Structure 1
Amino acid sequence: MTNHTTANTNAAETPQRQRTRAPHTRRAALMDAAEHLFLTQGVRATRIEDIAAAAQVAKGTFYIYFKSRDALLRALQQRFMVSFCEQIDTALAHCPPDDWESQLRTWFATALDGLLGQILRHDMLFEDVRPSEDRQLMADNPVIEQLCALLQSGVQANAWQTPDPRMTALMIFHAMHGLANEALAQGNAGHRAPLVDMLTDTFGKALRR
């Protein structure tokens, strides 16, 4: 009798717990479920009802937080980039504030680790981006803004010079991506130190006053 009563009580409480989850918790659950499904079965093969079921919410709840599957994908892209920036910020915080070469090297090392260390997630999120969407991602990319801020700080400290920090940040970002892709193509993704050295030396010389 006691076990039966307990089981009924638990069963009755489960939906209530789901209904009373905080909005940010439900949104995060949908994003986590979608990311897992996108990785395991592909973005286009994943239906909204699949995501809702995996997040343990009603299908209608999905539309409270996201207008479409593509809108959720864009939210995942932003989450990835923000997390990427947080990792770099944490690493930069350990650099001496007046050691600009160390900061540049740390940016490259952490960025390459962050990219190559989760390349499957990165490719899942960004591989099907259309050209117009890619241009918008570049315009709103927090990684570019973070790097631009680092360059501006170096310029203000009279350590670096560049006529346009944002354009320089874009060049650095794409150079880093290009070398990462080449390392992947050559099967050398685990050998990152030479890439960090090359990028730091090349752009350090270009920026140095």
Structure 2
Amino acid sequence: MARTKPSKERRSDLLDAAESLVLTHGVDALKIDDVVVGAGVAKGTFYLHFASKDELLAALRDRYVERFVARQRQTSDKETGIARVQAWLLAGITEYLSDTRLHDVLFRHESHAAQPVDQPRPNLAIDALRDLLEETALLPDPGATAIALYHVMHGIADHILHAPHDRRRLLDEASRICQALLET
């Protein structure tokens, strides 16, 4: 029986432990020593996967977005044409509203000022939406349309958190905005 887990599994264990800790105590209280204890690994193992706490947090954000986008893709792949993009958008709103805690803990602390202007960090969700738009519609600038729809999704989700009675009306409007942007 092997005594060590594969590297990918160890990395996942570290991310799982860190996620649990940030949900319980917040980002500011996150300590590498607590992460390695939670993952059941030596501190040196942490540094095989991450150079710093900031790199760990970036990996947690990436994993969050990868899961989020996978759920959107799974929902949207059941549709075709404009309905596919509408399903992606509505799935994103629903997914975000299902549990905002991890999103808010991870992304509330992210500093855009620390990113070099000439090397911006990619937004995996916008990139995935741009790819979906390129597969689905003939648009003059799928990247710009992806940014606009992403912010529609995010803004509607945020508004629904504060005004749940507007949910149906805003979900309908998200679908209408998709329709208007994608019909050519």
Please confirm whether the aligned pair reaches a TM-score higher than 0.5, indicating the same fold. yes
Aligned pair partner of 1:123 in 104, 119, 142: 104
Aligned pair partner of 1:173 in 132, 150, 174: 150
Tell me the equivalent position of 1:101. 82
CA contact (8 A) 2:90 2:153 kept: no
Shift of residue 102 of structure 1? 1.6
Distance 1:207 1:139, change over 3 A: farther
Please give the alpha-carbon distance, in whole angstroms, between the structure 2 residues aligned to 1:135 and 1:150: 28
Count of aligned pairs: 183
Distance 1:154 1:22, change over 3 A: closer
Deviations 1:28-58 (A, max 9, x none): 1110000000110111112110111111111
Aligned pair partner of 1:205 in 158, 161, 180: 180
* Greater relative CO, 1 or 2 (CA 8 Å, sep 6+): 2
Q: Does 1:21 align with 2:2?
A: no
Shift of residue 152 of structure 1? 1.9
What TM-score, normalized to structure 2? Answer: 0.89
Question: Which residue type is aligned with residue 169 of structure 1?
Answer: A
Tell me the equivalent position of 2:137. 155
Deviations 1:141-183 (A, max 9, x none): 2211121122223334xxxxx3211011101101111111111
Query: Unpaired runs of 5+ in structure 2?
Result: none
Shift of residue 139 of structure 1? 4.8
Distance 1:141 1:207, change over 3 A: same
CA contact (8 A) 1:101 1:200 kept: no
Tell me the equivalent position of 1:80. 64
Q: Secondary structure at the match of 1:163?
A: coil
Larger radius of gyration: 1
Q: Secondary structure at the match of 1:131?
A: coil
CA contact (8 A) 2:126 2:150 kept: yes
Please give the alpha-carbon distance, in whole angstroms, between the structure 2 residues aligned to 1:25 and 1:56: 12
Q: Structure 1: which 4+ aligned runs deviate by more than 3 Å?
A: 133-139
Tell me the equivalent position of 2:45. 61
RMSD over aligned CA atoms reads 2.3
Aligned pair partner of 2:27 in 19, 28, 43: 43
Tell me the equivalent position of 2:159. 182
Shift of residue 193 of structure 1? 3.6
The percentage of counterpart residues that share the same residue type is 33
